[in-house]
Amino acid sequence: MAIEGTQLQISVEEGERWRRTMSVTVPSDVVSTERQRLTGELAARLKLPGFRKGRVPSSVVEKRFGDSLSREALDKLIGAAYREALSQQELNPISEGEVGNVQYEPDRDLTFSISFDVRPEIELSRLGGFKVERPPVEGLDDKLEQVLGRLREEKGTWQSVDKGRPEDGELVGVEIRRIENGEPGEVQPYQLILGQGDAIPDIEDAIRSLEVDGSGEFVVRFPDDFPNEERRGEEEQLLVRLDSRQQLELPELDEEFAKSLGEFESVDDLHEKVRADLQKEAEGQAESVVRGKLLDAILEANPFTVPVSMVDRYVESVLGDPEGVPPEKLAEAKEQISPQAEHAVKRILAIDRLSEIEDLRATEEELDGRIEEIAEKSGETPAMIYANLQKSERLEALEREITEKKVFDFLKGQSEITEN
C-alpha cells in the first residue's frame, strides 16, 4: 500500500503517564486509490455468469461486493496508517491499539483515533548506598554425595528378585484389572518404580503386599489431591497381580567407575571436578540473590507504577498457550501470578532505565568476546556461534545478558555487599 511517506494529519493526546490517544486523518486520494486497487484485484480473479474471468466491470464488482471491499479497505488503511503514524511520531506502543471514532467513505478522508500504552519513563533518583548480604555457599558435601549417587544410579543395572515383597525404589511390573459387577475387566500392564508417586498410594500399598506371581483384590480410593478432580474420593475395586520386581544394583565408586563416565581419570578427579561445578553453581545462585536484593532495594527507594498491559503480556508469556485450559482455571492462574509478574516487569524497567542513565550497554567488542568464549567451550567457530544465535533469535538475549551484568556491576560498586 502506497501510504509510506504520506503526509498524515496526526495529533497525539496524553492520558495517564503511559496512555496515548492518536487521532489520524488519511487523505482522500490515498483512500480512493486503495479502494480502487482492491476492486481491481478482485475483478481480475473473479468469475461471474455472463462475464469472462478477469473481465467483470468494476461497477458490477462494487455493486455485488461493495460492503466486503469497504471492510477490507478500512482494515488495511487503518493498519497501514497506524504504522506510518507511529513511525512519524516516533512512538513505540507496548499494547494493542484500541480503534475508535472511525469515519470512512470510499472517496473522502479517513479519520480514526487509536489508544495504546507506551513504555513508561521512570525516574530513579537513588542508585546506590544500599547494604546487601550475600548468602553463604553451604552444603556442598551433601550435594556432592547426591550427584555421585545419581551418577551411580545412571550406570546401575536392574537385577530380578524372586522372593519377598517389593520395597520402595524397586522397579515392578504389574497387571491391573478393574472389577465391575464381580467380573475382572481387561488387563492393563504397568511398570513403575515404587515410592515415586507413579501410582496412587492405595495401589502402591497393594503392590507392596504381594510377592512375585501373587495377586489379590483391593478397594482403592483416589486421593483428595488427584489431578482429575472428578475422580477425587472415588473408590474402585481392582485385581492386582505382581509379575516382576527388580532392584537397582549400583556400581562401586572406584577408578573403573570414574573412567567409565568418560571425563575423569580417577575418583579424586571425579570428586574435584564435580565439586568445582557445584561451587560454581552455588556462587551463581548467590550472585542471583544479590542481584535480586539490589533490584528490590532500587524499587523500594524509587517506587513507580507500571501499565496493566505490560503485566498482562508478561503473564501471558509465563502461562504460554492456554488452549484447552478452562476459563475459570486460567483466570485463577492469572490472578495468582499477577503480583509476581508486576514485580518482574518493574525489575526489567529498572534495569533498562539504569542502563540508559549510566550508558551501560553491550558493545560490539563485548559481544564478540562473549561469542568467542562460547565458541571456545563448544569447539565451534565464532562465525558458527554467531549464525546459530541469529537463526535462533538469541543474539538479542546475549546482548541483554552482557548489559545486565554491566548494570549489576555498577550497582554493586555503588552499594555495600557483605558476606554472611
- CATH number where 86 lies: 3.30.70.1050
Q: Which of 117, 149, 166 lies at the terminal end of a domain, its last residue?
A: 117
**Would you say residue 14 lies in a domain?**
yes
279 and 409 co-located in one domain: yes
pLDDT value at position 1? 58
98 and 204 co-located in one domain: no
What is the number of domains present in the chain?
Answer: 3
- Alpha-carbon distance 168 to 158, whole Å? 14
- CATH number where 239 lies: 3.10.50.40
**Would you say residue 65 lies in a domain?**
yes
pLDDT value at position 2? 61
**Would you say residue 135 lies in a domain?**
no
Q: Which domain, by its residues, includes 222? A: 157-249
Of residues 165, 146, 163, the one with CA closest to residue 154: 146
Q: Which of 62, 97, 117 lies at the terminal end of a domain, its last residue?
A: 117
- CATH number where 312 lies: 1.10.3120.10
410 and 289 co-located in one domain: yes
94 and 165 co-located in one domain: no
pLDDT value at position 38? 81
319 and 410 co-located in one domain: yes
Q: How many CB atoms lie within 10 A of CB 141?
A: 10
279 and 383 co-located in one domain: yes
**Would you say residue 245 lies in a domain?**
yes
Write out residues in the chain with pLDDT < 70, as ranges.
1-2, 4-5, 50, 52, 54-55
Task: Give per-residue pLDDT as tens, 272-288.
Answer: 999 999 999 999 999 99
415 and 280 co-located in one domain: yes
294 and 411 co-located in one domain: yes
99 and 165 co-located in one domain: no
**Would you say residue 45 lies in a domain?**
yes
**Would you say residue 415 lies in a domain?**
yes
277 and 409 co-located in one domain: yes
With helix as H, strand as E and coil as C, how does the chain read? CCCCCCCCEEEEEECCCCEEEEEEEECHHHHHHHHHHHHHHHHHHCCCCCCCCCCCCHHHHHHHHHHHHHHHHHHHHHHHHHHHHHHHHCCCECCCCEEEEEECCCCCCEEEEEEEEECCCCCCCCCCCCEEEECCCCCHHHHHHHHHHHHHHHHCEEEECCCCCCCCCCEEEEEEEEEECCEECCCEEEEEECCCCCCCHHHHHHHHCCCCCCEEEEEEECCCCCCCHHHCCCEEEEEEEEEEEEEEECCCCCHHHHHHCCCCCCHHHHHHHHHHHHHHHHHHHHHHHHHHHHHHHHHHHCCCCCCHHHHHHHHHHHHCCCCCCCHHHHHHHHHHHHHHHHHHHHHHHHHHHHHHHCCCCCCHHHHHHHHHHHHHHHCCCHHHHHHHHHHCCCHHHHHHHHHHHHHHHHHHHCCEEEEC
Task: Give per-residue pLDDT as tens, 317-360.
Answer: 888 877 777 888 888 888 899 999 999 999 999 999 999 999 99
**Would you say residue 127 lies in a domain?**
no
**Would you say residue 263 lies in a domain?**
no
317 and 403 co-located in one domain: yes
Average pLDDT of every residue of the chain: 90
279 and 412 co-located in one domain: yes
